Structure 1
Amino acid sequence: MKYQRFLYLLILWSLPTGLLLAQQSKPTPYLPSHAEILQRYKKVQLLDSITRKTISRHNVDANWMPDGKSFWYVITGNDSSKTAYLVTAATGKKEVITDTAKIAQLAKNHTGARPVRQHEPSRWEGFATDSVSPDKQWVATTIDGNVYVRSVATGALTPFTTDGKATGDYYGALAWSPDSKYLVGYRIHPVEDSSVYYVLTDVAGTTRGQLRSQPYKQPGDPFTTFDMYLFTLAGKTTAKVKTEQIDFFDAPMLHWRHKDPRYFLYEKVDRGHQRFRVIEVDATNGNTRTILDEKTPSFIYESRLYTHYLPETNELLWTSEKDGWRHIYLVNTLTGEIKNQVTKGDWVVREIDSVDAKKREIWFRAGGRNAGEDPYFLHYYRTDFSGQHLLDLTPAAGNHQAFFSPDKKYFIDKYSQVNVPPVNELRRTADGKLITVLEKTDVSGWEATGVPFPIPFTAKGRDGKTDIWGVMCRPTDYDSTKMYPVVENIYAGPQDAFVPKSFMSYYIDMQSLADLGFIVVQIDGMGTANRSKAFHDVCWKNLVDAGFPDRILWIKALAQKYSFVDTSRVGLYGTSAGGQNALGGLLFHPEFYKAAVASCGCHDNRVDKQWWNEQWMGYPVGKEYEEQSNVTNAGKLQGRLLLIVGEADTNVPPESTYRVINALIKKGKTFEFLPVPGMGHSDGGPYGRIKRRDFFVKNLLNINPPDRNINE
């Protein structure tokens, strides 16, 4: 019996103190002393210093030789030493280059690896052709707002319009047909955008504030409009095309039939983003017919609406979320019939990089196709137009970046996760076959510092079935017997997803905040992009939601798994739309969020830029804009708030923050405010980030931060 007691005591003595205490009692809130918090600030500075250049071999910047058969690259080690390698692409054979003269020679004759992206023109960009007709016989021009065509041979001018004005309504954006028989142009009704203003309070060499302004279109503001006209060379005729006025975007790109240039196609996105059409025009008579017509009760995400025209085969590649996921469709542009759905399934086509019309191949990136993986991980794919021969070029688990040789026969696949260091592989493009592993990241130096990598975490969202993804950073020296307050880095803008997915080879801001004594998290809730259409639609006329129901459940689930997470002390911070979200947390969910730092927030969607806000909040400007405004709801403020704004913000007008301030003052609310002279759209810059850290230390750890006026 005595032996058993002795053995028990020996086992207890040998257990880690934290584990022993955890068995005896529940974790207690972490509440550091002033002296301890001063040491934490110093430790953060030290960790920022000692973690630098501790990660190596994480990147291969390939320099391809002109023949495309080999490339060279240089690796910098943790000790700053450099090693150059020459790689034979077909075999993956790698040899060290020791001759510095050879490296210098190689540097003169190389082509960098390149991403595969093939850029398409923006619908915001106006379209016109060269003034000289394709057959070089005519020159199209405008004089005092009217259309003229001049003969190259004789110099004679032929007027086609007389009602244009030098100022006011005028004709322009002229575009020739490929056969030089027709000229397309527009009667343009211009709108001059109203200005927003700001004052630079401290400009060197001045004693007065300097007023600045810029044109700035806000939701509901009018657009320049375009009436489409046809000018026929043979009969010197002018005719208005029988179609709706273009009242959104600029003059559209024209896509003429290859074999019968009597017809052309153009695109029309209705203002409000709920209807997209491809319209055909018959140049002989101005008649039109709709080839493709997509309508949605919520929104069509125009910036990710991809179209690629194939005039030689009268086809169109088009992306749509019509089946609930963003996929590629092949359309017959003669009939408007969808020939086939190229990609399908519960996953998302994220980017179309290029199209090879001759091989009838599409190169694209997608997420969510590989079962068991984070659905935000990007993979690179190639498929034929039928969709029957889909190839995953980057099959390994992780978030991928592909860099192709100039002839696209080979590519370097760099993949990683936030807590899995990068691997760089050389692969063959024809079949995706692995040729060799070029580099695996060396993290031994980083690991020696003890700083942890971010931890991915998933929990179910508000519907009880959808996975919500995020990451957590914890203090390097966390104590499992303590409970640390939570700070969420929030950005709920619907234009993308924002939780990092790739490995970061530096001491990130979230980790530095964590090392002051916090659990710092970042989450993509419902309403953000890159998931299903239903997931994204949560934001529609509902930016106030910001995924908060999912975020709160995620943090609570995190606390269930990790006992050191304290959900009674939760703060959040963000910039721009994230600034709007940060304040929104206190206004609409004060039972959960207790402190917030909101930087350069777009607190009222009526004040912010038109193109972003109408995409998500709709047009015409409805009651939702006012009802969801942080200005309107300022009186609901509970908890601690720090507002930061740059006086020279040209992205979100500074008055968005000042209107919140005025509303808070009128309601007698308590808050802190940091205006930064001369700063643009930012989280506050270096000083703002210091104040943000101090704010959370004071309001969530309940201890005064360092007093820098006495050099603490």
Structure 2
Amino acid sequence: MKTQNKIFIIFLLSVAFLDMVYSQNVPRQLMKEFPSWINEKGERPHPDAKILENGLFTHIAPVTELYSDSNKKFAGTRDGKLYLRNQTTDSIKILLEPDHDWYWSMSNAMWSPNGIYLASKQIDDSKVPEIEIIKSNPKETIKKKYSRAGDALPEHRFYVINVKTGDKVEVKRNENLPYIHLLQWSNDSQELYFLMSDRLLKEVLLISVDAKTGKETILLSETSDTYLIGLDLLQGYSKRLIDSKQVVFLEDRNQFTWMSERNGYNQIYLYDDLGNLVRPLTTFSENRIVISIVEIDKLNDWIYFKAHANKNDPYEIQLFRTNLNNPGIEKITDASGILDVFFQESKDTLWLFRSQLPKTLQIERYAIDGRYIDTPWQVDSSIISDNQLNHEYEWVMAADGTTQLQSLILKPMDFDPNRKYPVVEYIYGASFNNVVVRDLLNNWLWDMNKLVQEGIIVVFIDGRGTSERGKKFQDYSYGKFGQIELQDHIGALKQLGKKRPYMDLNRVGVFGHSWGGHFALRALLEAPEFYKAGHINAAALDPIDFRIAIEPFMGCLPDECPEKYKKSAISNKLNRLKAPLMIVHGTYDDDVPIDDSYKLVSQLEKLNYNNYEFVVYDGADHIVMRDRNWLPQMIKFFITKLK
């Protein structure tokens, strides 16, 4: 669950893990000879660390042993027990046994800087339901704990462990704040900092904990009528939460920074170490919406941050800086297509990574005040020429008649304005993800472009309820998931088609993956006169059966607001289905279990509906697009059903 242009380093690491065998390998080809020092900025496990368990999902990096540079030891788990291992041996020493029904986990564990303490947690998931997923090689059925909306959550308890004595101190946990993330240790190894949240993400606490006593101090408390921060607060996303720099501790100043949307738009605030607000560091009037903190130059007290500052193009990114000592905002860059910014350790230059359709993909080096120096790297233009893009962006009006929405249209390279082309909309629909592609490294861009070259126009639309345009825009569908979003999409397509007679709106298809698969199926059911074919990947069906990630966006649990979940359901509308449908799912998917698709197929059979195909990828996880058959099958489906 990602946001475009956020933490580019995550992309680099995912390239290594997923190997990018789908999307025609284009993103990987484009990144040839990319500067190695930028690749090395990402935190990787120690090369000798052993894999302990899968990550949150099978398609993300696994949990490994944790290494301490100070004591030259690895910490790990085996059979629920916590152990230590010397760097030079494979033999382990059991440090702690788990409590009954609990097990130790290295997920979000951290060594103290001095190597004396290890912060780790025990987990009790005995009350959490299970799903079954199936690997293909070897053929094996695996049970995995999985919480759907309203289900029991695993309980997490953090401890500070003295690895010399084996003594442990429990970090006291508020039962009303089940989500807990260890952010970092203090430099002197005396304190730890945690972020905690309630289940619906409406209350967040930032606390410090004394390593020796476990005594906690609340540094900051923030509440909201809707959700705060987003999915990174859920269990399993600690690394992303830390990388987002939601909190940055400035120990030498006895201060910390905090990002908040409390005034409607994300800004950075400065606090002292007692939790008193010192002052806002950024303001909407000067920099509009802050995306993220890029770098903190502690020697000169500068904070560099990315922001959407152009009111005429709310998705444009520029780099700004502000000083911790003196109010004022400085705009550093004035360049299009900024994807990310990197600093070398010296902080004397900044490296601008620009990626923009159709051909811009390069790194430019600038002086710290924004003066251009050179372009050390740019993409091999021959790769782009082999995968040309014929695209245009257009602003359209939302269903309210006043809010502008951005769309992207992909057309065939041999486009003929006198022809009539069928149209496919790529949809996702959730508030934590935008779909309009603005950079060349987006995998969906190249998948959809392959479809486009077969004579089908593809359209991406960021409707209300998506991210990076402020809290009001993002919360448009809060508590009404699925009930109102399609109005913007259908209206946008009609506006685009009215100006482009070559777009045949009598032949409109829709494609979606994961939550997007839910919205694609919803489109077929709620607007059967408009959407004439649908391809759904690893799709979730009814929100009441979604993973717990749906809860913050509904604003309540199913037993608290059954009518809301009922209004957002779509299985009760399957009798409206008229269009041909392709259902695709992998048997090893532990993000959206294949049982959801089996349930859909069973309901279609009960309705005697047979205009569908069900494609099961044996052993495939949530990223079914990695199967070499996926792309040609998707293309063939839309060619057959729309052309």
TM exceeding 0.5: yes
Aligned letter for 2:493?
Answer: I
The reply to whether residue 381 of structure 1 matches residue 320 of structure 2 is yes
More divergent stretch after superposition (574-583 vs 415-424): 415-424
Over 3 Å counting, the alpha-carbon distance change for 1:336 and 1:242 in structure 2 is farther
Match of 1:516, SS state, is: coil
The reply to whether residue 294 of structure 1 matches residue 222 of structure 2 is yes
Q: Structure 1 residue 328: deviation in Å?
A: 0.7
Aligned letter for 1:365?
Answer: K
Give the aligned partner of residue 220 of structure 1.
150
Q: Summarize deviations over 1:416-444 as a string: whole Å, max 9, x none.
A: 4223534543321x211012356777869
The reply to whether residue 536 of structure 1 matches residue 474 of structure 2 is yes
Query: What is the 5 A alignment of 1:608-623?
Result: 608-610=546-548, 612-621=549-558, 622-623=561-562
Q: Structure 1 residue 283: deviation in Å?
A: 9.3
Give the aligned partner of residue 492 of structure 2.
554
Aligned equivalents of 1:293, 1:244: Cα separation in 2: 13
Over 3 Å counting, the alpha-carbon distance change for 1:627 and 1:305 in structure 2 is farther
Give the aligned partner of residue 132 of structure 2.
197
Give the aligned partner of residue 665 of structure 1.
605
Q: Give yes or no for contact 1:351–1:365 (8 Å, CA) kept in 2.
A: yes
Q: Structure 1 residue 322: deviation in Å?
A: 0.7
Q: TM-score, normalization: structure 1?
A: 0.66
Q: Structure 1 residue 663: deviation in Å?
A: 1.6
Q: Structure 1 residue 573: deviation in Å?
A: 0.8
Q: Give yes or no for contact 1:342–1:385 (8 Å, CA) kept in 2.
A: no
Q: Structure 1 residue 598: deviation in Å?
A: 0.7
Q: Structure 1 residue 413: deviation in Å?
A: 2.7
Match of 1:508, SS state, is: helix
1:468 is aligned, of 389, 397, 405, to 405
Aligned equivalents of 1:60, 1:181: Cα separation in 2: 42
Q: Structure 1 residue 586: deviation in Å?
A: 0.7
The reply to whether residue 676 of structure 1 matches residue 611 of structure 2 is no
Aligned equivalents of 2:41, 2:565: Cα separation in 1: 40
The reply to whether residue 307 of structure 1 matches residue 273 of structure 2 is no
Aligned equivalents of 1:238, 1:480: Cα separation in 2: 71
Q: Structure 1 residue 266: deviation in Å?
A: 3.9
2:203 is aligned, of 265, 275, 287, to 275
Over 3 Å counting, the alpha-carbon distance change for 1:333 and 1:698 in structure 2 is same
Q: Structure 1 residue 352: deviation in Å?
A: 1.9
1:351 is aligned, of 289, 292, 296, to 292
Q: Give yes or no for contact 2:128–2:147 (8 Å, CA) kept in 1.
A: yes
Match of 1:454, SS state, is: strand
The reply to whether residue 517 of structure 1 matches residue 447 of structure 2 is no
Match of 2:295, SS state, is: strand
Over 3 Å counting, the alpha-carbon distance change for 1:167 and 1:568 in structure 2 is same
Over 3 Å counting, the alpha-carbon distance change for 1:487 and 1:330 in structure 2 is same
Aligned equivalents of 1:413, 1:571: Cα separation in 2: 38
Aligned equivalents of 1:176, 1:423: Cα separation in 2: 37
Q: Give yes or no for contact 2:430–2:515 (8 Å, CA) kept in 1.
A: yes
Over 3 Å counting, the alpha-carbon distance change for 1:434 and 1:59 in structure 2 is farther
Aligned equivalents of 2:300, 2:39: Cα separation in 1: 21
Match of 2:179, SS state, is: coil
Give the aligned partner of residue 597 of structure 1.
535
Q: Structure 1 residue 326: deviation in Å?
A: 1.1
Match of 2:258, SS state, is: strand
Over 3 Å counting, the alpha-carbon distance change for 1:454 and 1:185 in structure 2 is closer
Query: What is the 5 A alignment of 1:223-262?
Result: 223-225=153-155, 244-245=174-175, 247-250=177-180, 252-253=182-183
Q: Structure 1 residue 635: deviation in Å?
A: 2.6
Aligned equivalents of 2:119, 2:339: Cα separation in 1: 44
Aligned letter for 1:697?
Answer: I
The reply to whether residue 485 of structure 1 matches residue 422 of structure 2 is yes
Give the aligned partner of residue 272 of structure 2.
332
Q: Structure 1 residue 654: deviation in Å?
A: 0.2
Aligned letter for 1:489?
Answer: Y
Match of 1:656, SS state, is: helix
Aligned equivalents of 1:557, 1:170: Cα separation in 2: 56
Over 3 Å counting, the alpha-carbon distance change for 1:670 and 1:399 in structure 2 is farther
Over 3 Å counting, the alpha-carbon distance change for 1:442 and 1:166 in structure 2 is closer
Q: Structure 1 residue 285: deviation in Å?
A: 9.6
Q: Give yes or no for contact 1:146–1:171 (8 Å, CA) kept in 2.
A: yes
Aligned equivalents of 1:438, 1:181: Cα separation in 2: 43
Q: Structure 1 residue 489: deviation in Å?
A: 1.5
Q: Give yes or no for contact 1:607–1:653 (8 Å, CA) kept in 2.
A: no
Aligned equivalents of 1:406, 1:555: Cα separation in 2: 47
- Unaligned residue ranges in structure 1 (runs of 5+): 1-47, 64-110, 135-144, 148-163, 702-712
Q: TM-score, normalization: structure 2?
A: 0.73
Query: What is the 5 A alignment of 1:696-707?
Result: 696-701=638-643
Over 3 Å counting, the alpha-carbon distance change for 1:353 and 1:341 in structure 2 is closer
Match of 1:402, SS state, is: strand
Match of 1:695, SS state, is: helix
Over 3 Å counting, the alpha-carbon distance change for 1:217 and 1:167 in structure 2 is same
Aligned equivalents of 1:369, 1:606: Cα separation in 2: 38
Aligned letter for 1:667?
Answer: L
Over alpha carbons, which structure has the higher Rg? 1
Aligned equivalents of 1:165, 1:445: Cα separation in 2: 53
Query: What is the 5 A alignment of 1:175-194?
Result: 191=126, 193-194=128-129
Q: Structure 1 residue 183: deviation in Å?
A: 11
Over 3 Å counting, the alpha-carbon distance change for 1:691 and 1:323 in structure 2 is same
Aligned equivalents of 2:31, 2:321: Cα separation in 1: 24
Q: Summarize deviations over 1:265-304 as a string: whole Å, max 9, x none.
A: 6432111111112246689998866442211111112425
The reply to whether residue 400 of structure 1 matches residue 400 of structure 2 is no
Q: Give yes or no for contact 2:294–2:341 (8 Å, CA) kept in 1.
A: no
Give the aligned partner of residue 94 of structure 2.
none
Match of 1:293, SS state, is: strand
Q: Structure 1 residue 561: deviation in Å?
A: 2.2
- Unaligned residue ranges in structure 2 (runs of 5+): 1-22, 45-55, 57-61, 72-79, 83-96, 233-243
Aligned equivalents of 1:682, 1:176: Cα separation in 2: 33
Aligned equivalents of 1:227, 1:512: Cα separation in 2: 48
Match of 1:331, SS state, is: strand
Aligned equivalents of 1:631, 1:693: Cα separation in 2: 26
Q: Structure 1 residue 530: deviation in Å?
A: 1.7
Aligned letter for 2:469?
Answer: R
Aligned letter for 1:219?
Answer: A
Q: Structure 1 residue 570: deviation in Å?
A: 1.1
Query: What is the 5 A alignment of 1:105-124?
Result: 112-113=37-38
More divergent stretch after superposition (598-607 vs 314-323): 598-607
Give the aligned partner of residue 42 of structure 1.
none
The reply to whether residue 687 of structure 1 matches residue 625 of structure 2 is no
Aligned letter for 2:251?
Answer: P
Over 3 Å counting, the alpha-carbon distance change for 1:286 and 1:473 in structure 2 is closer
Aligned equivalents of 1:115, 1:383: Cα separation in 2: 27
Give the aligned partner of residue 426 of structure 1.
365
Q: Structure 1 residue 246: deviation in Å?
A: 6.6
Q: Structure 1 residue 172: deviation in Å?
A: 11
Give the aligned partner of residue 100 of structure 2.
167
Q: Structure 1 residue 585: deviation in Å?
A: 0.6
What do you get for the CA RMSD once the two structures are aligned? 5.0
Aligned equivalents of 1:695, 1:171: Cα separation in 2: 47
Over 3 Å counting, the alpha-carbon distance change for 1:212 and 1:116 in structure 2 is closer
Percent of aligned positions that are identical: 24
Aligned equivalents of 1:247, 1:284: Cα separation in 2: 23
Aligned equivalents of 2:113, 2:416: Cα separation in 1: 72
Q: Give yes or no for contact 1:115–1:403 (8 Å, CA) kept in 2.
A: no
Aligned letter for 1:198?
Answer: I
The reply to whether residue 642 of structure 1 matches residue 616 of structure 2 is no
Aligned equivalents of 1:60, 1:175: Cα separation in 2: 34
Q: Structure 1 residue 324: deviation in Å?
A: 0.9
How many residue pairs get aligned? The number is 566
Aligned equivalents of 1:668, 1:166: Cα separation in 2: 52
Over 3 Å counting, the alpha-carbon distance change for 1:181 and 1:676 in structure 2 is closer
Match of 2:640, SS state, is: helix
Aligned equivalents of 1:306, 1:266: Cα separation in 2: 12
Q: Give yes or no for contact 1:258–1:311 (8 Å, CA) kept in 2.
A: no
Match of 2:284, SS state, is: coil
Aligned letter for 2:265?
Answer: W
Aligned equivalents of 2:345, 2:208: Cα separation in 1: 37
